Amino acid sequence: MKPVVRFAPSPTGNIHIGNARTALMNWVYARKSGGSFILRFDDTDRERSKAEYADQIEKDLHWLGIEPDRVDRQSARIDIHQAATDRLKEAGLLYPCYETPEELEKQRKRLAMRGKPPVYDRSALKLTDAERAQLEAEGRRPHWRFLLPNHDGDPFTTKRTVREWDDLVRGHQAIDLASMSDPVLIREDGSWLYTLPSVADDIDMGVTHIIRGDDHVTNTGAQIAIFEALGATAPQFGHHNLLTSASGEGLSKRLGSLSIRSLAADGYEPMAVASLALLIGTSGAVEPMPDMPSLIERFDISSVTKSAAKFDISELDGLNARLVHDLEYSQIASRLEAAGIGGGEAFWNAVRGNVSRVEEAGFWWEKVERAEPVISGEDRDFIAVARELLPDGDPDASTWGEWTSALKQATGRKGRGLFMPLRKALTGEEHGPELGALLPFIGRERMLARLS
């Protein structure tokens, strides 16, 4: 059976590099195994889900090189969720609870004081029909919990009930269903939390592998029980480590600067972002892969480590620079043109080693066209000689060599004392691309003007 994976973001904000990591893990898994990749928007939270975010997520995935085989959204699949809900209710596995958040908080505190884990005591199961009717008459609306199969018929006497799986990343995992509260599947307002629709959709869509962040490990124990309650076998799971910020905090959709959208707008190469998002936090080296097939070839899900990985934007700068230095003109000609950068292939070859983002070539193009010469007092005479000795005609590939050897002979200067005054006079900068390669773009007229 061909694997079917899904990336299931909630469209409640822009996705960041950590979400891209999950998407890429699924994508690479599908592509390596000849399987298919579903983009499923988990948009059961009607208030916070926005169509604009969903559209942007599709664009972001496309930018990263991910092309889903199918796109779907949970809000269009309510019949499936309802059928699953009915099935659980009929089986007596979904029960109404009326506690307010404050009452639940009090219960948790009481348990904590007695040194007990904060597990819901199922007291709602004890309510009689009359008591329920009374609560509803008072205006209370129920939320619904899934009765975890952690007992032998008497839900008030739980016993250790382990759900185990062989995790694609973390190896053998075991969660004791007696250590957790019955999960709430339906809110007071009747809307579903993520847990049940996700399982119902995974079953209906034939998902074979669920690859997601390790913040879902405990969830998985409960979800395996829901798969079983719905008569299905749970898929295989893989829980990858999460990315944190450089200071160790979790990434959040509110951290706008790390959104894929803003990284794209800042001129990073998609393959630099994708390589880092996927290869960070693995036992292998983090290197920029030139294209998606190489990244797919390179990545192995079993190399993902268990501990969280720190994401540092400076690492992205470094990877991006390495990719950019290797970019051929033909790959980026239209981008240079769109950014108003002239000089064609020769100019790109002259500057690419000095830029860490493609559009930064514009800085040097600007310097070619307009530079504020910097000539210090002690270099005045030297620059005057340099102007005299500039070889005739339009500068070409041999101009720099001829010019500087003539200058060396005439002035006795060499090394930095020879090159730096010329660089500062011609570009206004102390560092930059090899000067000889820039001369043909600056041209004779402008050179003479800057040397006076």
Choice from 31, 212, 239, 450 touching ligand GLU (CB under 6 A): 212
Residues 316-335 contacting ligand GLU, CB under 6 A: none
CB 294 to ligand GLU: min, Å: 26
Contact set for ligand GLU, span 30-59 (CB under 6 A): 42
CB of 212 to ligand GLU, least distance (A): 4
Q: Rg of the chain over CA atoms, in angstroms?
A: 31
60 binds ligand GLU (CB under 6 A): no
Q: Restricting to residues 214-273, which ones interact with ligand GLU according to CB under 6 A?
A: 216
Q: Is 312 exposed, middle or buried (0-12, 13-18, 19+ CB in 10 A)?
A: middle
Only one of the segments 7-15, 94-102, 144-152, 181-189 lies at the binding site for ligand GLU (rule: CB under 6 A); that segment is 7-15
Q: What gap in Å lies between CA 90 and CA 238, rounded to an integer?
A: 31
Of the two residues 253 and 444, which places its CB atom closer to ligand GLU in the complex? 253
Toward ligand GLU, which CB reaches closer, 40 or 424? 40
We find the least distance from the C-beta atom of residue 349 to ligand GLU, in angstroms, to be: 44
Under rule CB under 6 A, residue 363 binds ligand GLU: no
Residue with tokens 């102007």: 387
Among 4, 5, 9, 170, binds ligand GLU (CB under 6 A): 9
CA 18-8-177 angle, to 5 degrees, is 95
Using CB under 6 A, pick the residue from 10, 36, 173, 320 that binds ligand GLU: 10
Q: Are 382 and 399 in contact (CB under 8 A)?
A: no
Encoded tokens for 448: 């003479």
Report how far apart, in Å, the C-alpha atoms of 207 and of each of 75, 213, 239 are.
Answer: 18, 17, 15
- Token pair recorded at residue 177: 């269903």
The string of DSSP letters for 203-219 reads: HHTT--EEEEEGGGHHH
Where does this chain touch ligand GLU (CB under 6 A) — which range of 52-60, 82-90, 209-217, 235-243?
209-217
Q: Which of 99, 149, 151, 194 binds ligand GLU (CB under 6 A)?
A: 194
Residue keyed to tokens 């993520």: 194
Residue number with CB closer to ligand GLU (210 or 271): 210
Q: Which of 304, 316, 397, 313 is nearest to 349 (CA)?
A: 397
Provide the token pair at 394.
């339009």
C-beta of residue 48 within 8 angstroms of C-beta of residue 84: no
Instruction: Copy the structure tokens of residue 103.
Output: 């009452």
Minimum separation from the CB atom of position 198 to ligand GLU (A)? 5
> What angle separates helix 399-411 from helix 415-427, to the nearest 10 degrees?
120
Q: Which of residues 119-148 bind ligand GLU (CB under 6 A)?
A: none
Q: Which two tokens stand for residue 134?
A: 């009374």
CB of residue 199 to ligand GLU, shortest distance in Å: 9
Shortest separation between residue 119's beta carbon and ligand GLU, angstroms: 23
Total site size for ligand GLU, rule CB under 6 A? 9
- Identify which range of 3-11, 116-124, 149-157, 314-322 contacts ligand GLU by CB under 6 A: 3-11
Establish if 8 lies at the interface with ligand GLU (CB under 6 A).
yes
> Residue 101, by phi and psi: left (phi above 0), alpha (psi -120 to 50) or beta?
alpha
Name beta bridge partners: 165. Answer: 173
CB of 6 to ligand GLU, least distance (A): 7
Answer whether 53's CB lies under 8 Å from 261's CB: no
- The residues of the shown chain that bind ligand GLU, judged by CB under 6 A, are 8-10, 42, 194, 198, 210, 212, 216
